[in-house]
Every structure is written in structure tokens, then in C-alpha cells.
Amino acid sequence: MASFYPLFYKITHDEPGYHFLKAVAYGLSGGYFLGLKLHQWLYKTGWLKQKSVPCHTISVGNLVLGGVGKTPFTMFLARLFKNMGKKVMVVTRGYKGQTNHPLVSNGYKTLLTPLEAGDEAYLLAKNLKGIPIIRGKNRYQAIMSVFKDFLPDIIILDDAFQHYALKRDLDIVLLSAHSPFGKGHLLPRGRFREPISALNRAQAVVITHVKEENQGKKLKKFLKKRFPDLTVFTGDIEIEKIVSIQGKEIELSALSDKCLLAFCGLAEPVYFYQTCKDLNLGITHFLSYPDHHRYTKKDVLHLIEIAKKNKIDTLITTEKDMVKLLAFSPLFTEANCSILYPSITMHLYQIEAFISWIKGKLGF
């Protein structure tokens, strides 16, 4: 997978060349489209049945593969409902998790490791105290196996816009202001998981990576014209603090004169690189791995080797990557390498309007 990923990235981002592979990928996109339509038809005609759970459900999803901020938005939404006094549960697929056990966290104790839970499920458990985190490919089954233990008022379905099997009250779709529709092609030729027409199923769109409230106006205008029933909000992903692998907060000023090696395993590594630049960090080397990359000892030793060769003693990565590196903390310590991550949060510009909208939709 790791060796295939750079090629997949070049094709889906329409980089120059690779004409034959792009043609093949385009043909495969046609098959993917037919598969999507068949899947939707099976649910529409009742051949496959949607199931419902006995509480409010909200899906957080996207149209374009990766890089929109679903996980920070899911955490923002979960905390928002918790602060309203609601009992919240978050349900995720638990991508690449190595166990079928559904309970990642009971809200007070994380019960699975990052490898068992999957990186995003573990990250949610790590950050959402007082909120149970459930994982499972069959989300209805996972929910009902623990529902009586927690009796939630609201369930947030992380990355579930394409998960037709479970009914929900609201679908919120995130689009990046930088590249809202990728290059306009379906997978595997492009990064679309579904055509843009799928937004007809959503009730709201949040445009992310908007640095100022008045940015994104052109996209917002397009969405309102094409989908008049959509409510559109804008927001950005903000840095709360810089944290070490040991959990210690690091002052940004302490990094001002350092050379850093940055690395990540994201669908859109450019966003993490830009985050580092926005923090005015002295990034001299940047490495990217496939999305959801599972780091090995060999990977870690390679990173340390690059750092030592270039006289770098500080590495920085994402929190999502960091949770998969905790087991290798002694290797970094032994090599006298500090490894840090920026703790991020979602900021909505129209927060009061969003709260009013969601209360009205759910009848609070």
C-alpha cells in the first residue's frame, strides 16, 4: 500500500503525466459510479433496509477523500451537545482497527489501544472525556450492543455520509475551501467519494480551512444557488497548543530557533505542512506517508536517522499520527529526539447561528 500511495496521490490530484494510468483509473471510476447507484437503488427500493436507533442521530461526513477536518468537527459537535447537558455517544467505523470489540471508551477510561481501535477512534477517545466512543463496521449492531449501558440522547456518526444502513436526523457535510471538489472525478481517478449531487441528501455544509469569515463567499454562493435548501456555515481548524509525546505543553517560542523534521500520514499532507508554516516553524525536512499509515519500528528508526544526519533534534507530526507512535516513545528518548504535535480544535464563525439551527432541527 505504501509503495502504491504516491502514484495514487499523483493520479487523484491530476499531476502531469501518467496518461495511461489516468485512463485506466477513469474507466474504474465508471464502475465505481455504477456501484454507487446500485447501492443507493437497493436502499431506495427497500431491498436493503435502513435501521434506526431510539435517539437523535447526526452524521458528519464529506464528499472528497480526506483533509476536511471531520475528526475535529466531530469533537467540536460532541462537546457542544455535552455542554448543552445532553448525553452524547460518538460512533465511528474504527478504520484499520484490529479488534471487533465495539467499546473504545466508556467516557472515563480508554479500553482499546490505537492499533485495536484505529487511529481516529482512539483519538476521539483520548480527547472526549465523559463521552463514550463506539466503533464497528456495522454501526447499528455496535450501537445496540451498548445502548442500554449509556442511553444517549444524541449519537454522532463520524464519517458516515456514505453509510446508508443507519437512519439519521441530520447529515452535515464538510468541504475544504482550498479544494472543495477535488479535481471533479470519482475515485479512483479523482477524490470524489460521491458526485456533488449527493449534497441533496444533506441539511448543512460546513466550509473548512476558511482563514477569515469573509473568505469562502464564492463557494457559499455557489452552494446556496445549486442547493437552496442547504444551510452553509464556515469555520477553520485552529491550533490550541503544542504538546510533546509525553503530554507536556511546549511554548511556541521555544521552537523559534530550531530546525524541525515534520511528517504525517494524511490524505492531504499539504494541510499539515501549511499548519507548520503558519506557526513559523523552521521546517527543513518534510515526509509524508499514506493516510492512516501504521508506523513500524523501521519507520521510526528511519525518521531518527534523517534527523540525526541533518542535526535535527525535534520532530513534529499530527495528533492522529502521534497516537500510533506512543509505543515507540523510548526510541525517540534514546536518540535524544523530541517529538511534538499541535493540538487542534474546530472554530465556527457563525457559532450562535449554528447552535440556533441545530436546536431548531432537533427540537431542543
Residues that constitute the known binding site:
64-71
Asked whether 241 and 340 are in contact (CB, 8 A), the reply is: no
In terms of Cβ atoms closer than 10 Å to its own Cβ (0-12, 13-18, 19+), residue 355 is middle
How, if at all, do strands 133-135 and 56-62 pair? unpaired
C-alpha 290/C-alpha 313 separation (Å) is 24
C-alpha 115/C-alpha 113 separation (Å) is 5
What backbone torsions phi and psi does residue 108 show, to the nearest 5 degrees?
-125, -20
Give the DSSP H/E element, type plus range, for residue 40. Answer: helix 19-44
Chain centre to alpha carbon of residue 44: 28
Binding residues for ATP, by number, are 64-71
The CA-based diameter of the chain, rounded to the nearest angstrom, is 63
Which residue type does 199 have? L
How, if at all, do strands 314-316 and 133-135 pair? unpaired
C-alpha 216/C-alpha 235 separation (Å) is 10
Long-range contact list for 45-54, CB < 8 A, 24+ apart? 48/164, 48/165, 50/164, 50/165, 50/166, 50/167, 51/140, 51/165, 51/166, 51/167, 52/166, 52/167, 53/140, 53/143, 53/144, 53/147, 53/155, 53/166, 53/167, 54/147
Which residue in 271, 261, 281 sits closest to 344, CA to CA? 271
